[in-house]
């Protein structure tokens, strides 16, 4: 799985110098677009604190929502890979995870991207008929590898989730300066590729192509095959190359859109089935894909040292119908909860856009708005009238 990919990457050739550190990054290393900067209620705690968050833009550069971009692209990749395998027969269904790396001395930004076409040619020379390629500009540094090994040794991280998952969780930053000691330049190109017979000796001079593993047997009614592809595609996208105007992942060979039309090969109904199965597989959290219990971790409120359990906003109205819970809350928290109800559920009161980027001002608006509209409230927050 991810651990196998990490292990193979450490054996790949490294260029003497690379000149793309200022231009080629990884997902989540940009600024949030305007459409996702506004704060909105996303949850509440059992002590009545309102939790705010930003609406999801699911763009590659957004520090808050890049994982949505990972998710959406993974669904598309798994659906197309599954469709190709379904349309194939016999050993034609076989899918490999391979990685291609150039033996070069210097790599500029332009050279990094142009090498991707050469990588596709190298993979095809080794027997690949076509597939899904993700360009990777960096490998983990020795320092990062040591941190990962320590976390695994002490039981703080599941090694199967991989080094990059650990780093993305540990660093949790969109400041590239925080990443400079965690990565080192090392261009390589991962491919999920259809391949019956893999021959690494057939690749052109100047390239190394390694087979990381074979995917599990594919059968369209067996979700395991989709999940297997989803784990790989998700992981590869989390640290793929990100640069404005360039695609992180591309299709090539027999799976290129110009060569393979899933709807034509499988019929419209068959293609829709593949899309549904892919979405179902990717809908699982990475931990659940690995065979965990799939339970979401309990979140605790950090407002003023509260530490009460945090619930999704969808549960708010159930809690608001509990008069004993409402009666136990301070008045200001009740006002804010009332304002949330009007904002999110009733849509009768909406804060002005000018304050949506400032948490302090949004919380003040919730307090003032809730205070204005709590009188004579007989439903929803039943206890308001007599509080």
Distance CA 94, CA 111 (A): 32
Please indicate whether residue 180 or residue 34 has the higher confidence score (pLDDT): 180
Is the residue at 40 inside a domain?
no
pLDDT for residue 247 is more than 80 = yes
Rounded mean pLDDT, 112-130: 98
267 plus 331 within the same structural domain: no
Is the residue at 299 inside a domain?
no
285 plus 310 within the same structural domain: no
Q: What is the pLDDT of residue 377?
A: 52
Q: What is the pLDDT of residue 34?
A: 67
231 plus 189 within the same structural domain: yes
pLDDT band with cut points at 50, 70 and 90 for residue 296: low
Is the residue at 43 inside a domain?
no
Is the residue at 50 inside a domain?
no
Q: What is the 3-state secondary structure (H, E, C) of 151-206?
A: HHHCCCCCHHHCHHHHHHHHHCCCCHHHCCCCEEEEEEEEEEEEECCCCHHHCCCC
Cβ contact 280:74 at 8 Å: no
Rounded mean pLDDT, 180-203: 96
Q: Count how many Cα atoms sit within 13 Å of the Cα of residue 223 in the half-sphere of its side chain.
A: 11
Please indicate whether residue 49 or residue 10 has the higher confidence score (pLDDT): 49
Tokens standing for residue 263: 């709807």
Q: How confident is the model over 48-60, as pLDDT tens digits?
A: 999 998 777 889 9
Rounded mean pLDDT, 237-249: 95
> Is this structure's pTM higher than 0.95?
no
Cβ contact 178:171 at 8 Å: yes
Distance CA 365, CA 351 (A): 7
86 plus 149 within the same structural domain: yes
Where is the domain boundary, 289, 314, 334? 289
Q: What is the pLDDT of residue 379?
A: 45
Q: What is the pLDDT of residue 80?
A: 98
Strands, DSSP E only, in the chain?
Answer: 17-19, 39-45, 50-54, 95-102, 106-108, 128-140, 183-195, 207-214, 249-253, 310-312
pLDDT band with cut points at 50, 70 and 90 for residue 173: confident
325 plus 277 within the same structural domain: no
Among 74-83, 169-178, 247-256, the least confident range: 169-178
Strands, DSSP E only, in 239-302?
Answer: 249-253
**Please, which residues bridge with residue 138 across strands?**
185
Q: What is the pLDDT of residue 179?
A: 94
340 plus 242 within the same structural domain: no
Is the residue at 46 inside a domain?
no
Cβ contact 289:227 at 8 Å: yes
pLDDT for residue 33 is more than 60 = yes
Q: What is the pLDDT of residue 284?
A: 53
Tokens standing for residue 382: 């039943």
Q: What is the pLDDT of residue 48?
A: 97
Number of domains present in the structure of the chain:
2
Distance CA 252, CA 193 (A): 9
Is the residue at 179 inside a domain?
yes
Among 37-41, 59-63, 85-89, 334-338, the least confident range: 37-41
Distance CA 72, CA 55 (A): 16
Distance CA 37, CA 44 (A): 20
φ, ψ (nearest 5 deg) of residue 18: -135, 145
Q: How confident is the model over 320-375, as pLDDT tens digits?
A: 999 999 999 999 999 999 999 999 988 889 999 889 888 999 999 999 999 988 65
- Closest to 53 in 3D by CA, of 70, 40, 72: 40
Q: What is the pLDDT of residue 376?
A: 46
Average pLDDT, the chain: 90
7 plus 148 within the same structural domain: yes
Q: What is the pLDDT of residue 77?
A: 98
- Closest to 316 in 3D by CA, of 349, 346, 350, 352: 346
179 plus 119 within the same structural domain: yes
277 plus 314 within the same structural domain: no
Where is the domain boundary, 259, 289, 319? 289
pLDDT band with cut points at 50, 70 and 90 for residue 382: very low
Q: What is the pLDDT of residue 85?
A: 98
- Closest to 271 in 3D by CA, of 316, 236, 310, 220: 220
Q: Please measure the distance between the N-terminal and C-terminal CA atoms of the chain and give it in whole angstroms.
A: 57
pLDDT band with cut points at 50, 70 and 90 for residue 9: confident
Is 1 in a helix, a strand, or coil? coil
Q: How confident is the model over 130-170, as pLDDT tens digits?
A: 999 999 999 999 999 999 999 999 999 999 999 999 999 99
Please indicate whether residue 16 or residue 295 has the higher confidence score (pLDDT): 16
199 plus 74 within the same structural domain: yes
Is the residue at 93 inside a domain?
yes
Is the residue at 51 inside a domain?
no
Tokens standing for residue 355: 């304050």
Full residue range of the structural domain in which residue 345 is found: 304-386
pLDDT for residue 128 is more than 60 = yes
Q: What is the pLDDT of residue 381?
A: 47
Q: What is the pLDDT of residue 18?
A: 86
Q: What is the pLDDT of residue 54?
A: 78
| Dihedral sign computed on CA atoms, order 70, 75, 79, 85 | positive
213 plus 340 within the same structural domain: no
Rounded mean pLDDT, 264-280: 96
115 plus 253 within the same structural domain: yes
Where is the domain boundary, 258, 289, 320? 289
pLDDT for residue 383 is more than 90 = no
Q: What is the pLDDT of residue 3?
A: 66
């Amino acid at each position: 799985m991810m651990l196998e990919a990490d292990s193979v990457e450490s054996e790949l050739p490294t260029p003497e110098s690379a000149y793309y550190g200022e231009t080629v990054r990884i997902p989540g290393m940009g600024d949030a677009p305007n459409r996702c900067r506004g704060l909105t209620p996303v949850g509440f705690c059992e002590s009545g604190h309102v939790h705010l968050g930003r609406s999801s833009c699911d763009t590659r550069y957004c520090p808050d929502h890049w994982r949505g971009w990972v998710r959406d692209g993974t669904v598309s990749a798994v659906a197309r890979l599954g469709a190709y395998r379904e349309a194939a027969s016999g050993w034609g269904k076989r899918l490999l995870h391979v990685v291609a790396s150039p033996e070069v001395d210097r790599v500029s930004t332009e050279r990094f991207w142009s090498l991707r076409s050469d990588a596709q040619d190298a993979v095809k020379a080794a027997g690949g008929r076509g597939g899904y390629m993700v360009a990777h500009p960096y490998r983990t540094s020795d320092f990062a590898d040591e941190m990962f090994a320590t976390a695994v040794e002490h039981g703080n991280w599941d090694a199967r989730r991989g080094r990059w998952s650990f780093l993305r969780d540990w660093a949790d930053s969109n400041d590239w300066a925080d990443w400079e000691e965690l990565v080192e330049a090392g261009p390589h190109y991962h491919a999920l590729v259809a391949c019956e017979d893999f021959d690494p000796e057939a690749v052109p001079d100047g390239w190394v192509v390694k087979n990381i593993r074979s995917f599990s047997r594919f059968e369209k009614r067996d979700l395991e095959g989709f999940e297997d592809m989803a784990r790989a595609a998700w992981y590869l996208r989390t640290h793929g190359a990100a640069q404005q105007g360039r695609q992180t992942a591309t299709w090539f060979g027999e799976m290129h859109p110009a060569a393979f039309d899933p709807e034509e090969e499988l019929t419209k109904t068959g293609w829709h089935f593949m899309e549904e199965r892919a979405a179902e597989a990717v809908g699982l959290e990475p931990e659940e894909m690995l065979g965990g219990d799939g339970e979401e971790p309990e979140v605790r409120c950090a407002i003023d040292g509260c530490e009460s359990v945090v619930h999704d906003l969808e549960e708010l109205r159930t809690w608001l119908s509990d008069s004993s819970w409402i009666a136990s809350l301070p008045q200001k928290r009740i006002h804010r909860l009332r304002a949330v109800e009007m904002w999110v559920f009733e849509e009768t009161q909406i804060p002005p856009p000018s304050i949506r980027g400032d948490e302090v001002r949004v919380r003040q608006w919730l307090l003032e708005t809730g205070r204005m509209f709590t009188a004579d409230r007989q439903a929803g927050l039943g206890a308001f009238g007599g509080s």
